[in-house]
Amino acid sequence: MQAEVAASWKPWLPGASPNIMKILLVNPQQIYSRRKWGRSYHRIWPPLCLANCAAVLEQQGYEVKLIDVQAEDLSPDEVARKAVGFNKVFITSTSVDRWYCPYLDIQPFLSTVKSVGSVVEQVFVLGAHGTLNPKEMLNLTGARAIVRGEPEETVLDLCRTDNLLKVKGITFREEGEVISNETRRPLDLASLPIPAFHLLAMEKYRHEVLGLNFTLFEASREGVSRYAFPFDGYRSRTRRKPVENTLREIHYAVAKFGIKTAYFIGPEFTGARDQVLKLCDGLIQRDYDFHWACQTRPELIDKELLQKMKRAGCRLIYFVIDAGNDKVPEAGSREMTSRQIEDKIKSVHTLGIESACFFMVDFLKATGEEMERILRLARRINPTYAFFHVTVPYSGTGFPGFPGRINGSSGRFFDEGPFLEIPRGHLTLEELKRLIHRAYWSYYLRPTYICSRLIRGNLQSLTRQLHLFRTFL
């Protein structure tokens, strides 16, 4: 194991001599944030983008500390006290900066930036919000610069120089003028070292279904697809990490930190079928005590692939279900009817893998009749876990039916602020909340569902599901 891990720790970017600059990376608190249209589950997941940045910096000789406020439950003032003495501080607004559902209520993040900025002169901001609206985030935070897009290379360059004009992928203010430097090219994932798991509170992370001893792995970064609408600044072709690198990361996490559960982050894990089969072969050969989850689309799975994933430890698959209509797809289309989706989910269950389906409620079409139609679809598909969410049209994502940039669209939203969350449709905000609330009760309190879970589930799994159910009510 030692030789395998050591082989991965090679200098990542040439040309920088080691130095003793002290760098702090911060993932702020989000636990007291609530979506305006209802509750959501607040995950205690590792801030993977910061762990990547930390690994890159450590390889270049920097002294790095990472504070995960979400896991350690610290106040902004406590973070500020810990930040004293650091040369540069990087604070992210989204702990997995390419993830497609960032919080739009960023007050916890802003409070942390303000507190840290009172004791450290050079504070930099990362994350989806700054990538989307760099000028506005610059005004809100007073940061030295905003990092746009993937942070790993940019953070390293910001530590190497104080001349911001030389750093690609940032927006900053110089003599009253806002300057946005050239956008950085997409990162080659093969160049990334193993994330700096040793700087994280690994014992505190958990998955809402899989349980403790949990972490994240990133096998790919997806571009634009039918269910993936990345923010401006993250758009690129889909890039995949070499399977050997991913297996090395898994081995390190399992051997060093006792990781037993993981989530392969990204919306289309099985998009590269051959790569997934190769990864599964590697996991089967190593025979870890290790279970994992992923997300994909129903049309990207088949029996052979599912069988191999099951043998490799896959226990749960997330799906986003398009409940928009059930028209017969055109010839050559990859779209599926609800009956075809139902058959795919049944094939997952037949192999003993659990399913979690996100049913998206169109904010423009949300009515009682529309929700009942979605509920009928959910009952037919019958996933192990069902989630009902209002589709939030993030600005800059090119979401269908809501073209263009939506921030600041007067009169079209219930809320106000730099990142608007609740668009106006047929229902009031309170009616929308009640609609979602009833959907959860209607799905999970069915006698047939309860009986099936009692028969199939163990006590620990049922306890976790009860907790998960309560968070949405």
Distance between CA 130 and CA 75 in Å, rounded? 22
* Lowest-pLDDT range of 20-34, 49-63, 146-160, 230-244: 230-244
Phi and psi at residue 72, to the nearest 5°: -95, -5
Instruction: Identify the band that residue 228 occupies on the pLDDT scale cut at 50, 70 and 90.
Output: very low
For 362-390, write each residue's pLDDT tens digit. 666 667 787 888 889 999 999 999 988 77
User: What is the percentage of the chain residues whose pLDDT exceeds 90?
Assistant: 52
Distance between CA 330 and CA 1 in Å, rounded? 51
Cα dihedral sign, 73-76-78-81 = positive
Q: What mean pLDDT do residues 209-214 have?
A: 92
Domain spanning 2-180, CATH class:
alpha beta
Predicted confidence at residue 97, as pLDDT, reads: 54
Q: What mean pLDDT do residues 269-280 have?
A: 95
470 or 407: which leads in pLDDT: 470
Q: What mean pLDDT do residues 410-426 have?
A: 51
Instruction: Identify the band that residue 466 occupies on the pLDDT scale cut at 50, 70 and 90.
Output: low
Cα dihedral sign, 150-153-156-161 = negative
The residue type of 422 is I
Residue range(s) of every CATH 3.40.50 domain in the chain: 2-180
Predicted confidence at residue 407, as pLDDT, reads: 42
Given a cut of 70, is residue 159 above it in pLDDT? yes
Q: What mean pLDDT do residues 117-121 have?
A: 97
Q: What mean pLDDT do residues 106-115 have?
A: 91
Predicted confidence at residue 309, as pLDDT, reads: 98
Cα dihedral sign, 204-44-26-268 = positive
Count of CB atoms within 10 A of residue 333's CB? 9
Phi and psi at residue 110, to the nearest 5°: -65, -40
Given a cut of 80, is residue 470 above it in pLDDT? no
Distance between CA 302 and CA 276 in Å, rounded? 12
Distance between CA 303 and CA 311 in Å, rounded? 12
For the chain, what is the radius of gyration of the CA atoms?
Answer: 22
Write the CB contacts of 92 (distance below 8 Å, at least 6 apart in sequence).
Answer: 25, 26, 27, 28, 47, 49, 50, 125, 126, 127, 151
Which tokens belong to 321? 């279900």
Q: Pick the closest to residue 93 from 79, 110, 80 (CA basis).
A: 110
> Does residue 347 contact residue 300 with C-beta atoms inside 8 Å?
no
CA triplet 251, 215, 154: central angle to 5 degrees? 95
Residue range(s) of every CATH 3.80.30.20 domain in the chain: 206-471
- From the number of C-beta atoms within 10 Å of its C-beta (0-12, 13-18, 19+), residue 281 rates as middle
The residue type of 72 is E
CA triplet 171, 173, 175: central angle to 5 degrees? 150
Instruction: Identify the band that residue 452 occupies on the pLDDT scale cut at 50, 70 and 90.
Output: confident
Supply the DSSP symbol for 230.
P
H helix or E strand, kind and range, residue 240:
strand 239-240
465 or 386: which leads in pLDDT: 386
What is the pTM for the complete model shown? Answer: 0.85
Instruction: Identify the band that residue 18 occupies on the pLDDT scale cut at 50, 70 and 90.
Output: very low
Phi and psi at residue 360, to the nearest 5°: -95, 125
Predicted confidence at residue 435, as pLDDT, reads: 82
CA triplet 191, 60, 179: central angle to 5 degrees? 80
Predicted confidence at residue 403, as pLDDT, reads: 42
Count of CB atoms within 10 A of residue 147's CB? 30
CA triplet 343, 211, 248: central angle to 5 degrees? 85
416 or 219: which leads in pLDDT: 219
Q: What mean pLDDT do residues 112-123 have?
A: 97
Predicted confidence at residue 397, as pLDDT, reads: 53
Instruction: Identify the band that residue 409 occupies on the pLDDT scale cut at 50, 70 and 90.
Output: very low
CATH fold for domain 206-471: pyruvate-formate lyase- activating enzyme (3.80.30)
Q: What's the distance, Cα to Cα, between the start and end of the chain in Å?
A: 45
For 58-81, write each residue's pLDDT tens digit. 999 999 999 999 899 899 999 999
Q: Pick the closest to residue 156 from 93, 90, 108, 232 (CA basis).
A: 90
H helix or E strand, kind and range, residue 264:
strand 261-264
Predicted confidence at residue 223, as pLDDT, reads: 62
For 231-267, write each residue's pLDDT tens digit. 444 556 788 999 999 999 999 999 999 999 999 998 8
For 392-401, write each residue's pLDDT tens digit. 665 555 555 5
Predicted confidence at residue 413, as pLDDT, reads: 41
Count of CB atoms within 10 A of residue 369's CB? 9
184 or 226: which leads in pLDDT: 184
Distance between CA 218 and CA 127 in Å, rounded? 17
> Does residue 170 contact residue 158 with C-beta atoms inside 8 Å?
yes
Instruction: Identify the band that residue 281 occupies on the pLDDT scale cut at 50, 70 and 90.
Output: very high
Q: What mean pLDDT value characterizes the chain?
A: 81
